[in-house]
Chains A and B, each alone.
Chain A
Amino acid sequence: MEALYAIAVGVLTTCGLYLVLRGRTFPVIMGLTLLSHGVNLFLFASGRLALAAPAVIGESARPTDPLPQALVLTAIVISFAMTAFVVVLALRAAVELRSDHVDGVDPEEDWRP
């Protein structure tokens, strides 16, 4: 399970990083989303992975650490809200700048008639 989990986190982070470095706002937002998923999974794993171990003391012989779950919850709330915000911001920028390039102008676009 650990290997699968680590590979999933790694793939999410790599894809996120690649997309964040793209030139248009939509891939960048997708990249931020993937990156935050990778980070959330990573944070969750910092309490160690365990099967059949609820995060409540007294429910089983060996409870798991509840704190990372609380941290992930905080991180999810923040990243979800920020994704919504950045989508609106990107739409506004695209309308105002008439381009969805992150710099507002596409250096490769041909403006000649």
Chain B
Amino acid sequence: MNHLPVLPILLPLLTGALLVTLPRLTLNAQRLISLGSTLAVLGLVLWLGASVLEQGRLVYALGGWAPPFGIVLVPDRLSILMLVLTASLALPAIIYACRGDDDSGSHFHALFQFQLMGLNGAFLTGDIFNLFVFFEVLLIASYALLLHGGGTARSRAGLHYVVINLIGSALFLLALGMLYGLTGTLNMADLAVRISEAPPADQPLLQAASLILLVVFGVKAALLPLLFWLPRAYTAAAAPVAALFAIMTKVGLYAMLRVFPLAFALDQPLATLTAWQWLWPLALATLALGSIGVLGATSLRNMTAYMVVVSAGTLMAIASLGSAEALAAGLFYLVHTTLLTGGFFLFADLIGRQRGSAGDYMVATAAMKDRRTLGILFFFAAVALAGLPPFSGFVSKAWLLQASLGEGVAGLYWPLLLGAGFLMLIALSRAGSKFFWRQSPERDHEMRADRVRFACVLTLVSAGLILSLTAAPLADYTRSVAAQLMAPGDYVRAVHEAGLEMTGGH
């Protein structure tokens, strides 16, 4: 059997374990190992992507236990999209952290690797209990990463974050218990078959389980009544951690896109699911709240945190339409927004470091030494994020608007999306003019921007241009991802055939 699918999980696990257990590793050695591992993960997921593109979908049975009894990893096009996105966000984040953020607490690199392992595992697994376990792995690593560096703001935000996610985990287990009690399986492909064949008497309980799952994934994905932990936590986290957290809300969305179309919508259209119908109004409210938050934020990091909320609302709203075209547009936007908001968290830190005690708060202070370079980059980054041409924000938003037009919901979605974009533009220009134009007459700050840190921000921000230039192939790819998501029968068949092959057809 080809063992490639499990390597993106094993490599960060072993690296993390090595970093924890090897005694007295110098910080530089830790950095080297961690960087090497992250780079290797990127290579591995690209390699895995090449073989997935060839065959459409791989099925890997862990330990050689045939599905549906054993745990399977099922890397498909959606998994590859998320894996490549995670790795390409993690690499600049870890390089940024190596410039000094990683020595303000212990075990940063080990925790970062465990977080990567949890993320990769969640994107690969085809077993719903295994999904829970990988959620726990990434959450436990994120609890410690959020607290990295210490301080009262982090303790307070950390307490909220940990408690709400523990309750989320308890609810996840309740939903899994209900699903297992009713169907007797945890393999998602097998679950799909059993749920579609479930007797009518079981339907209310199955629906309850699906709604509990929506709440659980909604906590992770920042759906409206469950998102109030997010702005504070993302604002308090160290910059590289916050940048990596930009993918964490997308894990919730990924889980929704993986579980609902497959397990619950095998024999009915996705948009008719009760859980999916709740998504539309809540996502629109999330979008509205996020855009108000963006306008009300007092620091650039806080503003970026609310932009994460805006993007979560936009994504869940377009996903709730449940058509292939809408999903394809949403996935394109997902790539754009994850890289750009991740870059903005780093950018806020970079700016904050040059402004002395003013930090990244939007107050007038003495001019920055590198105001010209940073100002030009900020201008382009803001244009890309707010969705103006020629960057990917514009391309993705135009596609979102076009995709929603075909669904007859444009009357509600267009004003909210365009209004959110407008409010973001106002907030970003206000931040830019506070940072680069309104300067108090004191002597300029002497701090120079760190070159490596600047390069990390530049890399992530230039994603806006690169995605815009490569929009056509990427759009084709997200279309193929959406088409694969809309055909859950193929997933079930692939896992079933793999099981038959392993047991010799019995």
Contacts and interface: CB of A to CB of B under 8 A. Distances in A.
Q: Which of B151, B173, B174, B176 has the most chain A CB atoms inside 10 A of its CB?
A: B173
B289 interface: no
A93 B155 contact: yes
A28 B163 contact: yes
B155 A86 contact: no
A74 B174 contact: no
B86 to A, nearest CB: 23
B176 A89 contact: no
A103 interface: yes
A8 to B, nearest CB: 15
B153 to A, nearest CB: 9
A65 B339 CA distance: 45
A97 to B, nearest CB: 6
Contact of A46 (B147, B151, B178): B178
Contacts of B176: 43, 71
B166 A74 contact: no
A85 B162 contact: yes
Contact of B177 (A36, A46, A74, A102): A46
Contacts, number: 88
Contacts of B143: 85, 89
Secondary structure of the A contact surface, majority rule? helix
B158 interface: yes
A63 interface: no
A39 B168 CA distance: 12
B215 to A, nearest CB: 13
B140 interface: yes
B156 to A, nearest CB: 4
Contacts of A96: 151-152, 155
Contact of A89 (B151, B162, B177): B162
Contact of A32 (B156, B160, B167): B167
B159 A90 contact: yes
Interface in B91-149: 129, 133, 136, 140, 143, 147
Given A28-B163, A82-B166, A97 B156 contact: yes
B160 to A, nearest CB: 7
15 contacts: A28-B163, A32-B170, A35-B167, A47-B181, A68-B177, A82-B162, A86-B163, A89-B155, A93-B155, A93-B156, A96-B151, A97-B152, A102-B163, A104-B152, A104-B156
Interface of A: 20, 25, 28, 32, 35-36, 39-40, 42-43, 45-48, 65, 67-68, 71, 74-75, 78-79, 81-82, 85-86, 89-90, 92-93, 96-97, 102-104
